Amino acid sequence: MMDTLYVQTQDSTYPIYIGIQIYPQLPSLLEKNGVTPERKLMMITDSNIAPHYAHRVRNILQSAGYEVGLSVVPAGESSKNLQQVGQLIGECLRFGMDRKSVILALGGGVIGDLAGFVAASYMRGIDFIQLPTTLLAHDSSVGGKVGVNHPLAKNYIGAFHQPLMVVFEMDVLTSLPERELYSGFAEVIKHGLIWDRSFAEWLMNASDSLLHREPEQLQQAIYRGCQIKASVVSQDEKELGLRAILNFGHTIGHALESVSQYRVYTHGEAIAIGMAGAIRLSQRYYGYSFDRVNWTEELIRAYRLPVKYHYPCSIDDLLFAMQRDKKVKSGEYTFVLAKEIGKVELVRGIPEKEIQEVIAQIRGVGS
């Protein structure tokens, strides 16, 4: 069973194939998208994923006549750097990659961003294909943002480079560590909260089966999540306006990640807490009933995600981090707020006092 979703970008359209046991169809999907066996493939993956899937995928492709190189980088965010880019480019050169060669990014958001950036830079840009292996990657594989970190700033070196196609195999999610699975749901929930109330309600009802990784349900959740992200980015590919709504929960979330030096919370956990903050701020701004806050927090908690932080930092530390965030313009606090569940807007000039009060509310006791 396979779903196909088309993502429209300025210059082209690319497919996302989502399904259960679809890797055996990789050769035919490649052919269909113009990747014939004369084109060399370089698979880039990480040290956790390689033992599970690298050889399986490589064998499938080699049996169909493809020449497939393999580069394995150490697992983790620390591989997303320029030095690693240089090493991977070296491996592409040694493997004899040319303008027609293709990079396969087999992994989560780290590999997607890193391998995608290598593809964007190698010979000024070659094709790449995403084979996502984390739930979070449903988010990172749509939108074409690729890049690496600078020691002074996360995600500051990058490009827009759309993949040729994305093949999302549900089976690979069985080996995903629990904490990574839960974290991935934060972005799925976000897509419901910003765009589609009935999807958010469906997520509330489907939490048991999704947490049990029932593949049909996962496929449905990923399909809708990708579709929502695709609708947003296709209307605003270069982040000039609408795309900012994808930052729902990210203003506080990013501040929390940065204050805790990216060591305490996964991105999803920080965003979960950030969404709890954002819905509280929204409740104050629009003056609706507190039920909506409770409902949202219940949804977040249903996916074993936190709605409060315990990291020992002051409210001012968080405010300071928010001001430094590249998305805060000219010292004004700008937030994506929820007018209702499923509808959000960008609100500028929120008073600092309101934010301080909300941060105090999402601070867990005992911190």
Assess 110 for contact with ligand NAD (CB under 6 A): yes
Q: Binding string to ligand NAD for residues 44 to 73, with x set by CB under 6 A, is what?
A: --x-xx--x---------------------
User: Minimal distance in Å, beta carbon 48 to ligand NAD?
Assistant: 3
- Least distance from C-beta 13 to ligand NAD, angstroms? 18
**How many chain residues bind ligand NAD (CB under 6 A)?**
29
Q: Is 249 in the site for ligand NAD (CB under 6 A)?
A: no
- Of 196 and 269, nearer to ligand NAD (C-beta) is 269
Binding ligand NAD (rule: CB under 6 A), the pick from 78, 175, 235, 294 is 175
Closest contact distance (angstroms) between CB of 184 and ligand NAD is 7
Angle 140-304-250 from CA coordinates, rounded to 5°: 40
Extract the tokens encoding 116: 């995608």
CB distance 157 to 106 below 8 Å = no
Contacts of 90 (CB under 8 A, 6+ apart): none
188 binds ligand NAD (CB under 6 A): no
Shortest Cβ 148–ligand NAD spacing (Å): 9
Residue 134 or 296: the one with the smaller Cβ distance to ligand NAD is: 134
Catalytically active residues, by annotation: 124, 145, 187, 229, 239, 243, 247, 250, 254, 267
- Does the footprint of ligand NAD cover residue 358 (CB under 6 A)? no
Q: Given the structure tokens 């941060």, which residue do they identify?
A: 359
- Region from 43-51, 278-286, 290-298, 306-314 binding ligand NAD, contact rule CB under 6 A: 43-51
Kindly state the smallest distance separating residue 309's Cβ from ligand NAD, in Å.
Answer: 19
Q: Does 80 bind ligand NAD (CB under 6 A)?
A: yes
Residue 181 binds ligand NAD, judged by CB under 6 A: no
Residues near ligand NAD (CB under 6 A) are: 46, 48-49, 52, 75-77, 80, 107-111, 113, 133-134, 136-137, 139-140, 143, 145, 155, 172, 175-177, 180, 267
